[in-house]
Amino acid sequence: MIKSFIVYVVSFFALLVIVHFLQEFVINQTNSIIRFNLWDTNLFMAIASLMICVHFQVFSLVNSLKTQLGFIYLPTLFIKGVLFYVAFKDTVFNIEVLNTPERLSLVIPILLFLVLEVFFIVKIISKMGFKY
């Protein structure tokens, strides 16, 4: 289990670094203006996805929760969205109209962290022997 936690941390940190520096590079090359802190939003997404994976790894050890893991995962996207809104309502959601680079700077990392999160969740659930 410790090995799994290390894999999660390294994977999400690597994705965070890659996404952030690619965003910075593209923004600098296109002379775009982003009116919120990219590092903070990306870090939030990485930590939120990491925490979900860690919790699911722990939940998979509880026999009474094993059959419920799929149902437990369903509301996590909604909860992440609400927490993102609460954390960034004064910076991101205070901007009346987001320009295209700002929208892409939010959507692309959300999707990339979601893909990595779902990959690990599927691995956790498939280790328990359930078929999809």
Tens of pLDDT, residue by residue over 69-125, are 888 888 998 999 999 999 999 999 888 898 999 999 999 999 999 999 999 999 988
Confidence of residue 19 (pLDDT cuts 50, 70, 90): very high
Q: What is the pTM of this model?
A: 0.89
Residue 22: the pLDDT is 96
Q: What is the pLDDT of residue 65?
A: 83
pLDDT reading at 132 higher than 80: no
Q: Could you tell me the residue ranges of all domains in the chain?
A: 2-127
Task: Specify the pLDDT at position 66.
Answer: 80
Q: How confident is the model at residue 14 (pLDDT cuts 50, 70, 90)?
A: very high
Alpha-carbon Rg for the chain, nearest whole angstrom, is: 17
Give dist(CA 92, CA 96) in Å, integer: 9
- pLDDT per residue as tens digits for the range 34-83: 999 999 999 999 999 999 999 999 998 888 888 888 888 889 989 999 99
Measured CA angle at 131 (ends 129, 132), to 5 deg: 140
Exposure string (b/e) for 54-77, b if CB count within 10 Å is 16 or more? Answer: bebbebbeeeeeeeebeeebeebe
Tokens encoding 105: 């700077």
- Please tell me the predicted confidence (pLDDT) of residue 131: 55
pLDDT at 47: 97
CA atoms of 82 and 103, how far apart (whole Å): 18
